Amino acid sequence: MKHIGILAHSFEGAALCYRTMCLEGVERLGAHRHPEITLTGVGMADLLPAWDTSDLPALRAAFFEDAEKLAAAGCDFFVCPDNTAHIALESPGEPFPIPALHIGEVVADEAQRRGFRKVGILGTRFTMAGPVYPGALGRRGIGCLAPDEADRKTVDDIIFDELCLGVFTDGSRAAYVRIIEKLKADGCDSVALVCTEIPLLITADVSPLSILDSTRLLAKAAVEVALGERAMPEWRGGPVE
């Protein structure tokens, strides 16, 4: 089996990704069995100023340093269970020391497999306005739509003030459901939960639209790679063709 690396940026999403990988291992391999997994990540607070100033080189350099730790630990490839981080990972620079499984490509593959044509995007303000999902979905001929500006602020505030800190409330769930209902009214046939903490708040039973759970999709794809059921990724950062 391949050794999986997790490059964490926000802890709740990384923890959910790790747990899902272990559960996938148990399901496929039997009790108490899963691929070897190594996780690293500094506190997100250290990098928030760089996000606020759009300093992609600084962000990429920090992620590169973490990827080097995973490579030194013997990981064969890594995942980053943080959609916003992929904005920096996709920026130009030195190739990462080991390949990475791209979360946006995994989500877009699933959207294509399920026949979705217009995907609503819920994530941080950076992800909702950023290039990762228009790129990944667009390469497959799939449209996407983010909420309006006021709703983006609501989504982003809840992420940073609550979800990333392990706080999940009924009021915030109701606010997200309302926003998903608006995306449905605007013609979306699905919603991508592309902040890795959102699946802890919004589940299929409460969502007005079919969901694409970026965290669990990434974790399952990583286990498939580790078990040789999916090809090893070749992407080492930089623009995705």
Q: Which residues contact 61 (CB under 8 A, 6 or more apart)?
A: 93
pLDDT score for 241: 80
Sequence length of the chain is: 241
Q: Which residues contact 8 (CB under 8 A, 6 or more apart)?
A: 14, 39, 40, 41, 66, 80, 81, 82
Predicted TM-score (pTM) above 0.85: yes
Question: CA 193 to CA 62: how far, in whole Å?
Answer: 25
User: DSSP label at 37?
Assistant: E
Mean pLDDT per 10-residue interval, the chain, length 241 residues: 97 96 97 97 93 97 98 98 98 98 98 98 98 98 98 98 97 98 98 97 98 98 98 98 80
The side-by-side arrangement of strands in the sheet containing 77-79 is 37-40, 4-7, 77-79, 100-101
pLDDT score for 177: 98
